[in-house]
Structure 1
Amino acid sequence: MCATRGNSVHAVTRSTLRQQIAGALRDEVLAGRLRPGQEFTVKEIAEQYGVSATPVREALVDLSAQGLLDSVQHRGFRVHEFSVTDYRAMVEARGLIADAMFSGLGHHAPADPGRYLAVRRRGEECARAASAGDLNVLIGYDLRFWQELCALFGNPYLSDFAYRLRLQSWVCSVPYLRRHGDLRGRLWTGHGALIDALTQQRHAEAQAIIAAYNADSLALIEELAGPAVR
């Protein structure tokens, strides 16, 4: 019994460490400290965090499965390089998810306004960060906002896919956004309006808000990327 318990504790500890490393590296990519195309090895990351190679390798495999890293044979890993074309496809996919959530799955949306309170508070934090042009704060709150909002519709598979797509969208757009400098007035602050529409069961309005947001986001990234991508 003792041996089994010890193995279980070791497995949990390693799993937690794996998640912590994956989260830390994901934050490094989102912050722009790990740049698109940058390569590194398992050994380098293990030495950086002072841990063994096994949880690092597992964390890197997890991030590869999320589409954030590429495995480079005999060399390690590389931060995936997304293009504006990729971003266009992501925005299209985000629109399809919104259509599914707010129309086809609309009957799964909670009618009780109280169910939206936590998501609304998260949205308020997003709007404040966006208004201030604080990208670092915005990304964290935004990911949680959409994850919690999608979860209210009761389909965990849709929620997981939407989160992964949201994460990839940020990773793709961050290099362009960080070149801009002052982002005040350029980032979306419509989280509250979206929650208002959903709370009042105005799903068509919610779809329109998301469609306008996606169009503005794509236009901004295309603008920042320059005419060569059009």
Structure 2
Amino acid sequence: MNDTFPRPGRVLVTGGASGLGAAVVHAVRTAGGQPIVLDRDPVPGDGVLSFAVDVSDRVAVGAAVLEAADALDGLDAVVTAAGIDRCGRLDEVEAAEWERVIMVNLLGTVNVVRAALPHLRQTHGRVVTVASSLGLKAVSDATAYCASKFGVIGFTRALAAETRGQIGVTTLIPAGMRTRFFDDRDEKYRPKDDSKLNDPARVAAAVTFALAQPTGCEVRELVITHEEDDSWP
């Protein structure tokens, strides 16, 4: 990477077919980088290398990351935007569904970072994990989501400590965004006023800001919310 005006380079984006992930893919391309999408339902075409993979499947993730790195002769960054939610009180959400949130949001993040780490060390690359304002502030009816996102923050802080000087590590902590993330929720769990949700393009701009830091400079955490969002602090 150019240390004066670094471009994003080869950026692996999980959940890159929709929502924040798609916004990050667009932002990386606009900034002159080359995004690679990992998603259960990747959008074909458009000149973006894509892999159909469930991030909770550690073996499949490892194979996809290796194939991507081989195809592009390396990786410069990873952005872990894949995420799901299952709303409801602990005794109301099926155990398998509750555990699925942990598997995708937390273990999926770990799986991708673990697989990409050897390639990122070679390029002194960057990891941007996507947590949530609900990784800082716990709320009712969201035990699975809060547990997963609190876990992402803890994982990323520990990762930064153990890879200091080898790769860059940033935790992105966004509040609600205007995406399809809320579409399959019961009405009572949907935002009442989407004007207080952030544009995912704004959040993606924060990602490219982190990716653009020169070697030796670290943005460790970024909290980004709509100015009227009340989920933080």
Question: What's the TM-score bracket when you normalise by the shorter of the two chains?
Answer: under 0.3
Structure with the largest fraction of strand: 2
TM-score by length of 1: 0.26
TM-score by length of 2: 0.26
The structure with more radius of gyration: 1
